[in-house]
């Protein structure tokens, strides 16, 4: 099976971006550790974009191919009807992921357009959130 990890805006800056909230691990570190942990049990696709439309296209492609998606939509989580619709349109199986516990933060992070169309949500475990999502997909 193929598991597609999609990362939204500003996650390219992980490691230096607000490390007290998001940690010192870079997105490249996370990708490398996922590939090690998958160890041939699944093919890993790992992408990041600062553009909403890229994420829409990648959700459509993965969903139509029947691939599982782990989505850290970053700030688009809280704004994007387009991502919500894309997931619904192709019936994609999506795990919503956040590094931080968005419910323990500002009120504007408490609502997600993704949750209603996600199979499950993993939030608050830092870089470990990605490993937990991988195990959830493999399980």
Q: Which of 35, 37, 47, 109 binds ligand DQA (CB under 6 A)?
A: 109
- The residue from 22, 76, 113, 130 that is catalytic is 22
- Name the nearest CA neighbour of 6 among 83, 78, 81: 83
Contact characters 40-69, ligand DQA, x per CB under 6 A: ------------------------------
Measured between alpha carbons, how far is 4 from 36 in angstroms, rounded to an integer?
15
98 is catalytic: yes
22 in catalytic set: yes
Who's near 124: CB < 8 A, 6+ residues apart? 98, 99, 100, 101, 102, 104
Binding residues for substrate: 72, 78, 85, 99-100, 109
Tell me the closest approach of the beta carbon of residue 120 to ligand DQA, in angstroms: 15
Q: Does 7 bind ligand DQA (CB under 6 A)?
A: no
The one catalytic residue among 84, 98, 113, 130: 98
Helix (H) or strand (E) holding 57: helix 52-64
Give the strands of the sheet with 68-72, arranged side by side: 43-48, 2-7, 68-72, 94-98, 120-123
Q: Which residues are catalytic?
A: 22, 98
Residues near ligand DQA (CB under 6 A)? 10, 72, 74-75, 77, 98-100, 102, 109
């Amino acid at each position: 099976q193929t598991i597609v990890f999609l990362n939204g805006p500003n996650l390219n800056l992980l490691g230096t971006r607000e490390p007290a909230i998001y940690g010192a691990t870079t997105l490249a570190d996370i990708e490398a550790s996922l590939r090690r942990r998958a160890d041939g049990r699944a093919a890993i696709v790992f992408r990041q974009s600062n553009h909403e439309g890229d994420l829409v296209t990648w959700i459509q492609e993965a969903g139509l191919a029947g691939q599982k998606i782990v989505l850290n939509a970053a700030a688009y989580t809280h704004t994007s009807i387009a991502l919500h619709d894309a997931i619904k349109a192709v019936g994609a199986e999506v795990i919503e992921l956040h590094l931080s516990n968005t419910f323990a933060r500002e009120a504007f992070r408490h609502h997600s357009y993704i949750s209603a169309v996600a199979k499950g949500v993993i939030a608050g475990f830092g870089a470990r959130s990605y490993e937990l999502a991988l195990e959830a997909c493999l399980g």
